[in-house]
Amino acid sequence: MGSGKTTVGKALAPRLGLEFVDLDQQIEQRCGVDVSLIFEIEGEQGFRAREHAMLVELSKRQGMLLATGGGSVINPANRELLRATGLVVWLQTGVDQQLRRLARDQRRPLLRAPDRRERLEALAAERDPLYRTCAHRVVRSADISPARMALRAEKEIRQALSEVTPT
């Protein structure tokens, strides 16, 4: 959350000749409502079931750069699917940076907590080990522009592809 997945993904996809797809936006289009309303009506468990179904559907497509939601990795089947069907890049972000980037954001259901720092730290403690096991590459999301982050991610992706593709 707040790592820049969507912003960086939109900048990066054309550089790689790929279509950009945001998993949460696909769910919203399918359901006709935003993620926060899905959370409100169905709870996190209902949303995660929808997320998994959409990920299964999208994983059959080629030629896209997919930005998943930050919690997609909670489901072991999602982690397995992501690793098996694509190159997974983790935009690693610290809590301080998340707090700055999400200071005005009121839409994220998991951020609705009395202490945002505490919530983000708890999510990081839960999810960071899962991101580590899922990611093929890690790009630190430092205090740089999305365009520079996209360049860093592109470098990592091209390097990873060159390691598996003979020249």
The answer to the question of whether 5 is labelled as a binding residue is yes
158 labeled binding residue: no
Q: Are 141 and 4 in contact (CB under 8 A)?
A: yes
7 appears as a binding residue in the annotation? yes
Q: Can you spell out the DSSP letters for 19-76?
A: EEEEHHHHHHHHHTS-HHHHHHHHHHHHHHHHHHHHHHHHTT--SEEEE--TTGGGSH
User: Is 127 a known ligand-binding residue?
Assistant: yes
167 assigned binding-site residue: no
| Distance, C-alpha 112 to centroid of its chain | 19
Would you say 34 is a known binding-site residue? no
Distance between CA atoms of 77 and 63, rounded to whole angstroms?
22
- 3 belongs to an annotated ligand binding site: yes
Say if residue 119 carries a ligand binding annotation.
no
Calpha distance 110→75 (Å, rounded): 16
Q: Judge whether 48 is annotated as a binding position.
A: yes
Cite the annotated binding site for substrate by residue number: 24, 48, 70, 127
Cite the annotated binding site for Mg(2+) by residue number: 6
Cite the annotated binding site for ATP by residue number: 2-7, 108
Cite the annotated binding site by residue number: 2-7, 24, 48, 70, 108, 127
